[in-house]
Structure 1
Amino acid sequence: MTGVLPGWLRQYRRAWLPADLTAGVVVTLLLVPQSLAYALVAGLPAQAGLYASVVPLVLYALAGRSHAQSVGPMAVTSLLTAATLSRLAEPGSADYLALAAWLALLSGGLLYLMGRIRMGFIADALSRPVLEGFTAASAVLIVVSQLGPLVGLKGGGATLPAQLAGLFGQRESLAWPGVLLGGAALLWLVWARNRLRPLLQGLGLRPAVALLLSRTAPIVAVAAGIAMVTTQPWATGLPQVGPVPRGLPLPDLPALPAVRLTDLALPAFFIALVNYVQSLSVAQLLAAPRRETVDPEAELRALGLANLGAGFFGGFPVTGGLSRSLVNAEAGAQSQLASLVTAAGLALVMSTATGLLTHLPLAVLAATIVAAVGSMTSLTPLRVAWGTDRADAAGFAVTFLAVLLLGVDTGIVAGIVVSLAVWLARTGRPHIAELGRLPGSEHFRNVERFDAAATLPGVLFLRVDESLYFGNARHVREAILQRLDAHPVSRLVLVMSAVNRVDMTAVSMLQALDDQLACCGVALHLAEVKGPVAAVLERAGFPARFGGRVWLSAGAAWDALAPAPDFHI
């Protein structure tokens, strides 16, 4: 029986229980307004956010490895869902709800399958600058989309120009009660983020207690908003969440609307990719202080199950949330029991308190989204990348602008293309150094950087600082021939200490280069060939071709090719 229990439960300590219970309650208070708000960002009824929270929390707690990862709706995922489904169905319609569930099912199935076939490396498809550019631009779109509800107007639009045009067209309908209530909620949330904790500590509360109470600021805003629309005549006409069905959702496989499954397959893959990268990053961040490791494949499977659960229970795609998970960790979560407590708390709210949520003003929900997402719009990564690597800065900028001007789905495609293009540009033109030997040592260094590095008459040592593959084989061959034109020698030593892999194109290039150099009276030698590369070359017949021309080290090649000393008696 114990074999089927999750690892954290088999090793659970009674001393962890108070901290897990506290963290679970705190995250429940945070997740109620978040789940409602992110459902509206996704173009779904508010209850869909609650449905997308309960079952995924339970499934991740049973299958996940991160002690404090909190799975549920997230801002960027919600925006991707809206961008995908708004082209296929009317937001809020029955077809739209069914498509959202299928999107979660497809992305969950892909994640679980990738975990089973050990594709954790797929996270590397998005470089860090591209992911940060995508996140920052998505945050801008989310903030602008919520400016309308924040001031009593309708939001909408898949791109920044469309959103701004929509807001400008409604300028005559500005609702000042919405501006007052939404603005007050936003000011409170921004103030509470930076000022509430020091204030509470100044009143004598312990730092840990002050931190937890400061995290509940969104609940205070929600409660105040509900109180205003139910007691103050000036606020009663503001747009509200509306009726939220009471009770827990039942498992259901909705009928797929009249669209091709292929219309959802590619967006589901992109959502799965973004969700996985986000969840893995959060898990690694939480694991670092505890000196724990994260199993990418296990994370894929757990996140896949969470999304499958969201789809079967009327939700939409989910992932690990950074802010929510950090709150969980800061509240003292020691295991995934905290998430089970959160799931139970949400279930209690859905069974007893949905009537209160009916009167929650949309302006307050919009304020919670703007306050939570606003910090993600930072351009600091662009400034850092510009100072360190211009190619990374270009990747950030292209992705950022593509998301804003063309939409999130096109933007993420552009980001992946940029990531691959940068990789091809870097590996397709590898650095090739001419090496010399430092006097009195076995060390070889670039002669352009070390003036003391000595060269060997009649011998040219070249080091290729990249693996050899179809993308750079032709360039490497041409670069080597150009070096030989500039340095006429009879022997060329190709130092392969930085070559970790060769493919068939590279093998063919080396064979052709050997033949061409032989016709010109130049002997090609290889040095410092790594084991995996040597195995490939051996299968290609290189031992017979290069007999006596393969050296264990550059120093061995130097000693063998150096002219014999001229002794005079």
Structure 2
Amino acid sequence: MPHSQSNNSRLTQLFPIAGWLKSYTRQEFNSDVFAGIITAILLVPQGIAYAILAGLPPQLGLYASILPPVLYALLGTSRTLSVGPVSIAAIMIASALTAPEISALGNPVQSALILSAESGIIMLLMALLRMGGLVNFISHPVLTGFTSGAALLIIGSQLPQLLGLKTPSCGVDVICYSHYFSGLVPVTLLIGLAAIGLLVFFGKPLVFILKNTGMQPYLITAISKCGPLLTIMLATLAVGYFDLTGQQNVAVVGQVPSGFPALNMDFSPIEKWYALLPYSGFIALIAYVESVAIAKVTANFRNEKIIPNQELIALGVANLAAAVSGGMPVAGGFSRTMVNFAAGARTQMAMLIAAGLLALAVIFFSPLFENIPKAALAAIILVAIIPLVKLSDIAHTWRYDRGDGIAETATLLGVLVYGIEEGITLGIILTLISHLRKTSQPHIAVVGRIPGTEHYRNIKRHSVETWPHLLLLRVDESITFANINYIEEFINAELRRQPNLKHIVLIFTSISDIDTTALEVLENLNHTLQASKMTLHISEAKGPVLDKLEKTDFLRQLKPGKAFFHTEDAVRELAKG
């Protein structure tokens, strides 16, 4: 490869934007401009709402929606992923900031910036160690249980905002709650319910109505996604016009500074970095897993490719950018990404346009955000979050796989009872235990031949031919230290059940590896069988397995046993007696 081509290839790998910009068309630009405007409409209310959900000033959500997506656009491999504040990360940030050891250190804004910086550094270290495949170690049931549990926590945190109440501290004291609800602000509840109604209407009902008018799909998307912005505008106008803050004590966002903070990384003291490190690790892990999962969804629609390790780099740099620009930790947002995709975004140019529009809003229109009622923001969060509660998935998972069902249920309950970090840790541990249990007790089938064929199937499932002195065993798992004792016990049980056996054939069709411990046990088993006048054979071993066995004395020790190419060959030779 010429030197210039090699350099271009390296540049494209590190900056994927350099690849698609070469063939960027005016038609794609027009699509991206439209999608960028629609996505920007979502960025304002979501940025403010998720910052407040995290217990932070609203501007931290807005700042996190400007520079981080710009840097992701330069480095990310997804052409439609919308990076910024997300609900799940926001509730994790809130969990970290309200932890006694963290809140005791004071200055939650500084703590949030450290969380952004540490999350970014952790992702970059993961990228350096080529840990992009880590996304595969969190199973879908655990992720679903975690998401449902976190969504329920978010719903619980937003209901007081919807009612105009402070966060309750009553625990299980019923009498306390009777006094607590006496502080309900009716006007706040009315604003919240009206906002929910408007947001729900802008969902499926409005889309259904507009489709029946024959309107173009892109216009339907544009109109339906204006719901959050219109909700915020109407609620803000009502608060200002009727002076609901002064007259009815309606809680509002308050002053949002215009412009941007100076870029800096002054996040001392160092003890905060140590204290926040575990929380940052979980935020980085979940942000990465959630982002890659969302990116793959939209990439699959267009046969595009996501490179997990490059995503770690892009998300790591985006979180560092959030830290230095005064923003909260960021990740790929599902709702924004799907809106961006549905609006026709072809490349990350859409997010660059959206970030530019939001930057203009922060510079020139920040005073307009002051009277946004928190109840309306709570409504936006609730409408976005409720679909993430997938309790029916637990029942489906439980029916299909009991181990996964237990892990999913335990993750959800763990998040609700013990906390976010503890819940997902419990789920991962239970998933690994379930996997080890399955691995340690592999499916083993005694097989026979289907009459008139060369197919061998489980004697418990099919009507097959068998032979009194020949035992055919198929082990449906690689043989390792974790399961070799179980396999040995299974063989011994069959030997006791069939005392006239002379030949045992282990069918290796499903075996991809035999580790050292397993090989030693197989050698001992072979010696025991030979001492009892029985012969051990293998059949249909894969090339890599045979290559490993040929480096040992096992095949020599097997004699007079053989390694057959086909199980049928073994039966033809051994079934005669």
TM bracket, shorter-chain basis: over 0.9
Alignment match, 1:8? 20
CA distance in 2, matches of 1:562, 1:120: 51
CA distance in 1, matches of 2:353, 2:325: 19
Q: CA shift at 1:201, angstroms?
A: 4.1
Alignment match, 1:470? 481
Alignment match, 2:563? 550
Matched, 1:293 2:293: no
Please list, as runs of the form range in 1=range in 2, the aligned pairs for 1:45-64 lying within 5 A after superposition. 45-64=57-76
The one-letter amino acid of 1:123's match is: V
SS of the aligned residue for 1:366 comes to: helix
Residues 436-460 of structure 1, C-alpha deviations (whole Å, 9 max, x = no match): 1223322211111111x21234121
Q: CA shift at 1:410, angstroms?
A: 1.1
Alignment match, 1:567? none
The one-letter amino acid of 1:196's match is: L
Residues 162-196 of structure 1, C-alpha deviations (whole Å, 9 max, x = no match): 89999666212111121111121112112221212
Gaps of 5+ in 2: 1-6
Whether the aligned pair in 2 keeps the contact of 1:76 and 1:135 (CA below 8 Å) is yes
CA distance in 1, matches of 2:263, 2:173: 36
Whether the aligned pair in 1 keeps the contact of 2:150 and 2:415 (CA below 8 Å) is yes
CA-atom RMSD in angstroms: 2.4
Residues 180-227 of structure 1, C-alpha deviations (whole Å, 9 max, x = no match): 111211121122212122334455643321222111100011111211
Kindly tell me: are residues 138 and 290 of structure 1, through their superposed partners in 2, closer, same or farther at Cα, counting changes over 3 Å? same
Please list, as runs of the form range in 1=range in 2, the aligned pairs for 1:199-238 lying within 5 A after superposition. 199-202=209-212, 205-236=215-246, 237-238=249-250
SS of the aligned residue for 2:142 comes to: helix
CA distance in 2, matches of 1:466, 1:481: 18
Please list, as runs of the form range in 1=range in 2, the aligned pairs for 1:244-263 lying within 5 A after superposition. 244-257=256-269, 259=271, 261-263=273-275
Residues 317-337 of structure 1, C-alpha deviations (whole Å, 9 max, x = no match): 211111110100111100010
SS of the aligned residue for 1:170 comes to: helix
SS of the aligned residue for 1:370 comes to: helix
CA distance in 1, matches of 2:64, 2:86: 10
Kindly tell me: are residues 63 and 354 of structure 1, through their superposed partners in 2, closer, same or farther at Cα, counting changes over 3 Å? same
Alignment match, 1:520? 532
Residues 134-170 of structure 1, C-alpha deviations (whole Å, 9 max, x = no match): 111111110110001111112378xx96899996662
Please list, as runs of the form range in 1=range in 2, the aligned pairs for 1:127-276 lying within 5 A after superposition. 127-155=139-167, 170-202=180-212, 205-236=215-246, 237-257=249-269, 259=271, 261-276=273-288
Alignment match, 2:3? none
Q: Which 10-residue stretch deviates more, 492-501 or 381-390?
A: 381-390
Whether the aligned pair in 2 keeps the contact of 1:246 and 1:350 (CA below 8 Å) is yes
Matched, 1:541 2:541: no
Whether the aligned pair in 1 keeps the contact of 2:102 and 2:276 (CA below 8 Å) is no
Residues 318-367 of structure 1, C-alpha deviations (whole Å, 9 max, x = no match): 11111110100111100010011111111111111111111111111111
The one-letter amino acid of 2:191's match is: L
Whether the aligned pair in 2 keeps the contact of 1:84 and 1:409 (CA below 8 Å) is no
Q: CA shift at 1:399, angstroms?
A: 1.2
CA distance in 1, matches of 2:174, 2:252: 23
CA distance in 2, matches of 1:185, 1:31: 17
Kindly tell me: are residues 309 and 258 of structure 1, through their superposed partners in 2, closer, same or farther at Cα, counting changes over 3 Å? closer
Kindly tell me: are residues 242 and 364 of structure 1, through their superposed partners in 2, closer, same or farther at Cα, counting changes over 3 Å? same
Q: CA shift at 1:549, angstroms?
A: 2.1
Alignment match, 1:393? 405
Match 2:422 to one of 394, 397, 410 = 410
For this pair of structures, how many residues does the alignment match? 561
Alignment match, 1:32? 44
CA distance in 2, matches of 1:156, 1:525: 69
Match 1:364 to one of 376, 392, 406 = 376
CA distance in 2, matches of 1:493, 1:266: 51
The percent identity for this pair of structures is 36
Alignment match, 1:505? 517
Alignment match, 1:425? 437
The one-letter amino acid of 2:200's match is: V
Whether the aligned pair in 2 keeps the contact of 1:155 and 1:166 (CA below 8 Å) is no
SS of the aligned residue for 1:66 comes to: coil
Residues 277-316 of structure 1, C-alpha deviations (whole Å, 9 max, x = no match): 2111111110122122322222222222222222222222
Residues 417-451 of structure 1, C-alpha deviations (whole Å, 9 max, x = no match): 12112211222211100011223322211111111
Whether the aligned pair in 2 keeps the contact of 1:105 and 1:307 (CA below 8 Å) is yes
Q: Which 10-residue stretch deviates more, 318-327 or 554-563?
A: 554-563
CA distance in 1, matches of 2:74, 2:126: 19
Match 1:78 to one of 74, 87, 90 = 90
Q: CA shift at 1:518, angstroms?
A: 2.5
Whether the aligned pair in 1 keeps the contact of 2:472 and 2:504 (CA below 8 Å) is yes
Q: CA shift at 1:250, angstroms?
A: 3.0
SS of the aligned residue for 2:281 comes to: helix
The one-letter amino acid of 2:345's match is: A
CA distance in 2, matches of 1:400, 1:196: 33
Matched, 1:124 2:136: yes
Q: Which 10-residue stretch deviates more, 18-27 or 392-401?
A: 392-401
CA distance in 1, matches of 2:256, 2:104: 14
CA distance in 2, matches of 1:170, 1:302: 45
Q: CA shift at 1:22, angstroms?
A: 0.6
Matched, 1:110 2:122: yes
The one-letter amino acid of 1:57's match is: P
Match 1:339 to one of 351, 364, 367 = 351
Q: CA shift at 1:89, angstroms?
A: 6.1
The one-letter amino acid of 1:174's match is: L
Q: Which 10-residue stretch deviates more, 324-333 or 42-51?
A: 42-51
Whether the aligned pair in 1 keeps the contact of 2:403 and 2:431 (CA below 8 Å) is no
SS of the aligned residue for 1:53 comes to: coil
The one-letter amino acid of 1:173's match is: G
Q: Which 10-residue stretch deviates more, 356-365 or 109-118?
A: 109-118
CA distance in 2, matches of 1:257, 1:494: 63
Q: Which 10-residue stretch deviates more, 334-343 or 7-16?
A: 7-16
